[in-house]
Amino acid sequence: MIKVGIVGGTGYTGVELLRLLAAHPQVKLTAITSRKEDGLPVADMFPSLRGHVSLAFSAPEKANLKECDVVFFATPHGVAMAQAPELLAAGVKVIDLAADFRLKDVAQFEKWYGMPHACPDVLEEAVYGLPEVNREAIRKARVIGLPGCYPTSMQLGFAPLLAQGRQLVNESMLIADCKSGVSGAGRKAEVHTLLAEAADNFKAYGVKGHRHLPETTQGLQAIAGRKIGLTFVPHLVPMIRGIHSTLYATILPEARDVDFQALYEKHFAGETFVDVMPPGSHPETRSVRASNKLRIAVHRPEGGDLLVILVVEDNLVKGAAGQGVQCMNLMFGLEEGTGLMQVPVLP
């Protein structure tokens, strides 16, 4: 059994990790930390876990995280990098759901997250946890920087276009128009996520610059092996879970004869958690709710030169906790889908 610790188990990604790991056949939940909730049974805070999680929250200094095989950090940015070196020295693997190990360029991290990086050496060895792109590196990794929810949808949505031996689209003008449910902002009290503020409303934000832009650009350039240009506009929609990303790319004249539906189907053939839908499909966020599945539909309106890719995922599962479990399975030699085959919830 894999002994698992979770640092920061009181947020939305934390409770999603608990939901998934409590039902994982190869996992023993060993420690769940929260300084504020020290001693409180997890099921008292999250009644959905009654009968499934018997642990109580414990302050970090009481948690014995060094006795774990792997520790997940479902914490604000900056926490994992402060604790990772000590855990790694004790032989514990680390999976960070925040941004501490996503951006390889320390200067970029410090620019976008407004804090110095505490362990550049650990950052250097960290593997970006997108299994459909970095599967073999993840198997050998000690520390994982898990992708953000928006970057997961954008990178997997654009990947088949960029991973070819030749350029198929204008890679200097990729556009991502993305919408997220309110849970993407985390479980904290902020005015813009209040019911009276977020309900019956729809808005863009971060148009000038969003911290997921450099992460996504870094990932797409790694897939392409060359520089790309990306415009990313996120939006907040009045729903709890889900991301819908509409991606645009202009087809180059020399690629007009490409069957892009077939290209996507071939690229993701055999991928358990990526579903390339039939031509003409319009995937809905509710079709992936509470699952680790990401669905993609490829459109070429009127047979023209603009390619439109629709991508949906659950921001808390494939966009966070589920992808973390997917990486854990790879790191410990398990079947990648172990504990992650839940059917989406409908309605």
Name the residues annotated as catalytic. 149
Alpha-carbon span 102 to 172, nearest angstrom: 23
Residue with tokens 């966020």: 285
For residue 108, CA distances in Å to 102, 133, 172, 230 come to 10, 22, 20, 16
CA distance 182 to 140: 34
**Cα–Cα distance for residue pair 116/105, rounded to 1 Å:** 12
Q: What does the alpha-carbon distance between residue 117 and residue 107 come to, in Å, rounded to a whole number?
A: 9
Residue 126: C-alpha distances to residues 94, 172, 231, 330 (Å): 9, 28, 27, 15
The 3-state secondary structure of 205-244, one letter per residue: CCCCCCCHHHHHHHHHHHHHCCCCCEEEEEEECCCCCCEE
- State the DSSP H helix or E strand holding residue 152, giving kind and residue range, or none if neither: helix 149-162
Can you read off the two tokens belonging to residue 318?
A: 């494939």
Measure the CA–CA gap between 273 and 197, rounded to whole angstroms. 34
Contact 338, 25 (CB under 8 A): yes
Strand partners, 190: none
Could you tell me how many residues make up the chain?
A: 347
